C-alpha cells in the first residue's frame, strides 16, 4: 500500500490510499477514500473510459441525473457518468476502475454508454455480493480490502468469457492513440469488415467504436483542461477539428462546458489515486 495522501475536494480533505505496485491485473485499478465533512460533500462524476465499481461503507448516495434513481452500497457506474452525482458526510469508499474489456468478463454484462447506475447484486447476484461485502467489512486494512476485491475479480475472470482478441486489440489501440483513430483502419488491421467490428465491439463492450474513441479522446482532453491548458490548445492538440468541436463533445458526454470540466473537483483526485503515466 502506498502512503496515504490527503487531497482537498469540494471543501473536504479526502485521504487517498492506493495499492503498491501495478495493481491486481491489467485493466484494473483501485483506490480507497476516507473523509469526514462538516456538511455533505456534493460531487458530480466526470466520464471516464472505464466502468466504476464502488463499495461504500459510509453514507455516500449516488443519484443518476438522467433517471433520478438513488443508489447506495455496492454499485456499478456506466462509462459516461457525467450526469451522476454523489454526496456524503462520512466517506469510506473503495473505488475500482475496470476497463470495458475486463468488465465484460468480470461483471458478466456489457454496459450501454450512458449514466447507468446499477446495484452490484443486479450483476453478481445477492449471495455473491453479500459475501464480498462481508469480507470487505471484516478486512482489517486497506491492503486487505484491495486483496479481497482482487481475489473476487480474479475468480470471476477465470470463470467468465473473455472478449474477442480482435475487440481487445482495437480497444487497446484506441487507448494508446488517445481516441485519434479511424475505425475502418482498425478493422483492416484485425482482418474484419467495419460492420463486423462495429457489431462485435458494441455487443461485448457496450458501446460503438466511434463512441469509445470519443470517450477516450474526451478523457485525455479533460485532464489537459484540468492541468490548466486552454480549450483552444487542447482542441488543437487532442484530435478535435476546432474548439467548437471540443465544446460539443464535452457537453455531450459530461453535460458541462470545458471551463467547468477544468475545475471539476474529482479530477483533482486522479493524479493521486490513478497517476497518469
CA distance 195 to 214: 19
List the domain range (segments joined by +) for residue 238.
Answer: 165-273
Last residue of some domain: 159, 194, 212?
159
Report the length, in residues, of the chain.
Answer: 277
Residue 68, pLDDT score: 66
Question: Does the pLDDT at position 252 exceed 70?
Answer: yes
With residues binned 3-state (H G I as helix, E B as strand, rest as coil), the percentages for the chain, rounded to 5, are 45, 20, 35
Q: In this predicted structure, which of 77-81, 202-206, 213-217 has the lowest mean pLDDT?
A: 77-81
Residue 168, pLDDT score: 95
Gyration radius of the chain over CA positions? 18
pTM of the model: 0.87
| Same-domain pairing of 120 and 82 | yes
Q: Which residue has the higher pLDDT, 273 or 174?
A: 174
CA distance 260 to 250: 10
The secondary structure of residue 274, as a DSSP letter, is: S
Residue 81, pLDDT score: 60
Residues 6+ apart with CB under 8 A from 209: 170, 174, 183, 186, 197, 198, 201, 202
| Same-domain pairing of 126 and 197 | no
Q: In this predicted structure, which of 16-20, 97-101, 168-172 has the lowest mean pLDDT?
A: 16-20
Residues 6+ apart with CB under 8 A from 247: 231, 257, 258
| Same-domain pairing of 147 and 169 | no
Residue 96's beta-bridge partner residues?
Answer: 30, 53
| Same-domain pairing of 83 and 177 | no
Residue 56's beta-bridge partner residues?
Answer: 93
CA distance 1 to 142: 8
User: What's the first-to-final CA gap in the chain, in angstroms?
Assistant: 19
CA distance 133 to 138: 9
Read off the CATH number of the domain in which 44 is found: 2.60.120.10
Q: In this predicted structure, which of 16-20, 106-110, 204-208, 264-268 has the lowest mean pLDDT?
A: 106-110
| Same-domain pairing of 114 and 180 | no
Using the structure block, give the residue that is written with the C-alpha cell 476502475: 97
Answer yes or no: are the C-beta atoms of 83 and 116 closer than 8 Å.
Answer: no
The secondary structure of residue 43, as a DSSP letter, is: E
| Same-domain pairing of 145 and 42 | yes
Amino acid at each position: 500500500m502506498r502512503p496515504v495522501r490527503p487531497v482537498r475536494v469540494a471543501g473536504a480533505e479526502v485521504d487517498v490510499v492506493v495499492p503498491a505496485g501495478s495493481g491486481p491485473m491489467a485493466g484494473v485499478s483501485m483506490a480507497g477514500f476516507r473523509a469526514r465533512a462538516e456538511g455533505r460533500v456534493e460531487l458530480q462524476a466526470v466520464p471516464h473510459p472505464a466502468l466504476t465499481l464502488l463499495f461504500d461503507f459510509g453514507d455516500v448516495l449516488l443519484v443518476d441525473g438522467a433517471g433520478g434513481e438513488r443508489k447506495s452500497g455496492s454499485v456499478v457506474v456506466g462509462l459516461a457518468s457525467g450526469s451522476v452525482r454523489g454526496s456524503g458526510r462520512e466517506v469510506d469508499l473503495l473505488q475500482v476502475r475496470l476497463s470495458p474489456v475486463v468488465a465484460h468478463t468480470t461483471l458478466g454484462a456489457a454496459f450501454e454508454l450512458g449514466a447507468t447506475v446499477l446495484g452490484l447484486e443486479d450483476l453478481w447476484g445477492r449471495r455473491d455480493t453479500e459475501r464480498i461485502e462481508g469480507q470487505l467489512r471484516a478486512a482489517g486494512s486497506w491492503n486487505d480490502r484491495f486483496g479481497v476485491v482482487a481475489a473476487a475479480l480474479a475468480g470471476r475472470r477465470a470463470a467468465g468469457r473473455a472478449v474477442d482478441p480482435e475487440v481487445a486489440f482495437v480497444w487497446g489501440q484506441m487507448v494508446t492513440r488517445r481516441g485519434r483513430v479511424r475505425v475502418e483502419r482498425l478493422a483492416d488491421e484485425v482482418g474484419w469488415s467495419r460492420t463486423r467490428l462495429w457489431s462485435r465491439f458494441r455487443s461485448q463492450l457496450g458501446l460503438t467504436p466511434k463512441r469509445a474513441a470519443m470517450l477516450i479522446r474526451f478523457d485525455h482532453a479533460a485532464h489537459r483542461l484540468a492541468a490548466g491548458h486552454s480549450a483552444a490548445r487542447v482542441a488543437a492538440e487532442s484530435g478535435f477539428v476546432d474548439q467548437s468541436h471540443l465544446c460539443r463533445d464535452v457537453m455531450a458526454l459530461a453535460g458541462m462546458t470545458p471551463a467547468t470540466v477544468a475545475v471539476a473537483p474529482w479530477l483533482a483526485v486522479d493524479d493521486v489515486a490513478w497517476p497518469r503515466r
